[in-house]
Amino acid sequence: MFLLRKNSLPAARCAALLLGLLLSGSVFAQRSNRAAMQKLVDDDLHFAVDQYKLMMRELPPDKLPRTYDSVKQKLETVGSRAWVSGFYPGTLWYLYEYTKDAALKTEAEKRTALLAPEQYYKGTHDLGFMLYCSYGNGYRLTGDKAYKQVLLNAAQSLSTRFNPVVGCIKSWDHGSWTFPVIIDNMMNLELLCEASVMKGDDAYRKIAETHANTTLRNHFRPDFSTFHVVDYDPKTGKVLQKKTAQGYADGSAWARGQSWGLYGYTMMYRETKDKRYLSQAEHIAAFLLNHPRLPEDGIPYWDYDAPDIPHAYRDVSAGAIMASALLELSTFEKKKKTAATYRQAAEKILTSLSSDRYRCTPGTYGGFLLKHSVGGLPGNVEVDVPLSYADYYFIEALMRYKKWFLK
């Protein structure tokens, strides 16, 4: 605090000097944070390249990674029909974009090609995860027309699952459900939106918008948390039940589901510029960032209502998805303070994920990047393990940060 003497500088000059000092301090802090984030992003991406080259050597030629078995000390793999099949090639495409390393491109092309048969598969809603993460990134970086055709065929296959009476794409064909729609399905709408652009008509985009509108009406609670599963009557469109399959309880806030919703509506605003979607994303972000049970480091518990908090498992996949979504949402936010809040929350998450607590030690876990994800705790499926989609959205968030905030 400055104390003015009788013959000291005029008050106006002193106030201006103080303001200048504060502003210069603010600029210094911003530059310091930028330098710290530049170092963190580059360190993480270099680490990811080394890890995925390790995974390349250990992965069977006709398989794709899902997780890592620490007891058997080996990769657990899947074929092309698994919903997670597109994440490994998608991550490779991002790492190739970062490095321009020909070996990464060759591996990305090889693993992407494994998914080609799924462009005609009509038995899943997950074609966006499977083919847009892989072929979509490949097409974005190479412009290969063969990749474009795969994406168009995949969009056509996905569109066959749309029921105009319900106004949604059916998620599952298994279980005791009638016409189940899960919040995860919001992520597959990007394939439809982009296919409409490629094709030059809006038929697929209209399906995506109808699904998003129906989900907005029926999936969300007054506090903007989301149910996991909404089951519909396909003949009338009536909601039959609102349940969960992977969360703690039907009425709880399953962490990855909340992140899917945030990402999905942010993406739909990008694709359509419909302000309802932006508003929904902002409300979901507020629910998450102001949640009393969001840990200080920004990495969610597997369910925000898990009864054993603070001893509940964390889910780094939910954190990575949330970070990527918040970064994009910050670019759409008109209020500078709110945009900064989103960006800083994402920075906190990325900083936490880069720590020894969550990031794998180099040379371990078969090349995976992040520990401590939860696939489905109620079914004891993939609990507290690395997962391919956690890696994918972690790398996506890092690439977004580098492209948008470190120019």
For residue range 157-174, what is the model confidence (pLDDT) as tens digits? 999 999 999 999 999 999
Q: Backbone phi, then psi, for 132, in 5-degree steps?
A: -75, -40
Distance CA 71, CA 79 (A): 22
Q: How many CB atoms sit inside 10 A of residue 15's CB?
A: 12
Mean pLDDT of the chain: 94
Has residue 378 got a pLDDT over 80? Answer: yes
Distance CA 294, CA 96 (A): 34
For residue 140, give both structure tokens.
Answer: 């974005």
What pLDDT does residue 16 have?
60
Per the CB < 8 A criterion, the answer to whether 157 and 119 are in contact is yes
Per the CB < 8 A criterion, the answer to whether 224 and 286 are in contact is yes
Distance CA 97, CA 100 (A): 6
How sure is the predictor about 5, in pLDDT bands with cuts at 50, 70 and 90? very low
What pLDDT does residue 31 have?
80
How sure is the predictor about 13, in pLDDT bands with cuts at 50, 70 and 90? low
Distance CA 204, CA 210 (A): 10
What pLDDT does residue 407 have?
83
Instruction: Identify the CATH assignment for 35-405 out of 1.50.10.10, 3.40.50.1970, 3.50.50.60, 3.40.50.300.
Output: 1.50.10.10
Distance CA 210, CA 59 (A): 40
Has residue 3 got a pLDDT over 60? Answer: no
Report, as an integer, the average pLDDT of 5-14. Answer: 54
Find, among 256, 264, 248, the residue nearest to 299 by Cα: 256
Has residue 19 got a pLDDT over 60? Answer: no
What pLDDT does residue 133 have?
98
Q: What is the pLDDT of residues 244-265, one digit of tens each?
A: 999 999 999 999 999 999 999 9
Hey, which residues are catalytic here?
A: 126, 184
Q: What is the pLDDT of residues 260-269, one digit of tens each?
A: 999 999 999 9
Q: Backbone phi, then psi, for 256, in 5-degree steps?
A: -65, -35
What pLDDT does residue 317 have?
98
What pLDDT does residue 32 have?
81
Has residue 395 got a pLDDT over 70? Answer: yes
Distance CA 159, CA 125 (A): 9
Q: Backbone phi, then psi, for 370, in 5-degree steps?
A: -125, 140
What pLDDT does residue 136 have?
98
Q: How many CB atoms sit inside 10 A of residue 344's CB?
A: 15
Kindly report the length of the chain: 407
Q: What is the pLDDT of residues 109-155, one digit of tens each?
A: 999 999 999 999 999 999 999 999 999 999 999 999 999 999 999 99
Q: What is the pLDDT of residues 350-368, one digit of tens each?
A: 999 999 999 999 999 999 9
pLDDT above 90 as % of the chain? 92
What pLDDT does residue 98 have?
98
Report, as an integer, the average pLDDT of 376-395. Answer: 98
Q: What is the pLDDT of residues 180-214, one digit of tens each?
A: 999 999 999 999 999 999 999 999 999 999 999 99
Q: What is the pLDDT of residues 256-315, one digit of tens each?
A: 999 999 999 999 999 999 999 999 999 999 999 999 999 999 999 999 999 999 999 999
Has residue 69 got a pLDDT over 70? Answer: yes
For residue 122, give both structure tokens.
Answer: 């009509």
How sure is the predictor about 30, in pLDDT bands with cuts at 50, 70 and 90? confident
Has residue 21 got a pLDDT over 60? Answer: no
